[in-house]
Amino acid sequence: MLDLGKQNILGISVNAVDYELATDRIIRSAKDGRPFAVSALAVHGVMTGALDPVHRHRLNNLDLVVPDGQPVRWAMKWLHKATLADRVYGPELTLRVCEQAAREGLSIYLYGSREEVLDQLTINLQQKFPALKIAGSQPSRFRQVTAEEQASIVKTIKASGASIVLVGLGCPRQETWVFEHRELLSMPLLAVGAAFDFHAGLVPQAPAWIQRRGFEWLFRFVQEPRRLWKRYTVANAQYLVLIALQFAKIRTLALEDTVSPTTHMRVG
């Protein structure tokens, strides 16, 4: 297990860790029944915080933020000489956590996406890990929920007996959900992005050689150009410029340079 500490990437505190350490911390927290908020951030996820001090506060108050994208891993090396052999890819971390949860007899809960996605994801995960216990699932409401609805969601998850919640609401909604539910649910909450669609078999993943070279964004852009064009053109260009400025010590955001949210978003 490798832990090179927290690294400042455009004002976002990203943990320079490997899969083994991330999985171990999640499983330990699940066994102890304690809150543990996790997100896997690629370039787009980093930029949501870099450009918004309120969301930057949310991200920097999670327990574990792992480098989902190769450009985030590379930035750790360029800026801080923190060299990782690989990124910690959200969909892969999801599988490793599910595998270990099955071994430990820990159950998971699936929150987010659409009902048809959750149904197929449940089938596929249980085929891959026959011993995995899936305590329940809830699709996203795709809107802000009321305080009463939020309380009902929390009550349902608690009543399921789940030890870990996987959250697939898309960035940055899923990170907001994890941040706002950390103190409401005494268990690991993992914002895992596209893992739901990938492992449900509804969206193809880029081949491994494309992922290793940092061009997964291009593969996904070709698949969904209308939805992703702004994310992968504007955000990627902004990321490169801001990384260069931080490298040159012209502009560096402090990890403490955030604004605490004054209201709850209560995304659902």
Q: Tens digit of pLDDT per residue, the chain (268 long)?
A: 999 999 999 999 999 999 999 999 999 999 999 999 999 999 999 999 999 999 999 999 999 999 998 999 999 999 999 999 999 999 999 999 999 999 999 999 999 999 999 999 999 999 999 999 999 999 999 889 999 999 999 999 999 999 999 999 999 999 999 999 999 999 999 999 789 998 988 766 656 666 666 666 655 655 666 666 666 677 888 999 999 999 999 999 999 999 999 888 888 8
For the purposes of burial, counting CB atoms within 10 Å of the CB of 183, is it exposed (0-12), middle (13-18) or buried (19 or more)?
exposed
pLDDT the model gives residue 149 = 92
Quickly count: other Cβ atoms within 10 Å of residue 87's Cβ. 26
pLDDT the model gives residue 124 = 97
pLDDT the model gives residue 234 = 78
* Cα 173 to Cα 18, 76, 266, distances in angstroms: 25, 25, 9
With a CB cutoff of 8 Å and minimum separation 6, the contacts of 267 are 144, 145, 169, 173, 176, 177, 180
Pairing verdict, β 107-112 and 64-67: unpaired
Q: Are 259 and 165 contacting, i.e. CB atoms less than 8 angstroms apart?
A: no
pLDDT the model gives residue 82 = 96
pLDDT the model gives residue 222 = 57
What domains sit in the chain, N to C, each tagged with a CATH number?
3-199 (3.40.50)
- What is the reported pTM? 0.92
Q: Between vectors from CA 61 to CA 70 and to CA 41, what angle results, nearest 5°?
A: 15
d(CA 137, CA 96): 19
Three-class SS state of 105: coil
Name residue 107's beta-bridge partners: 133
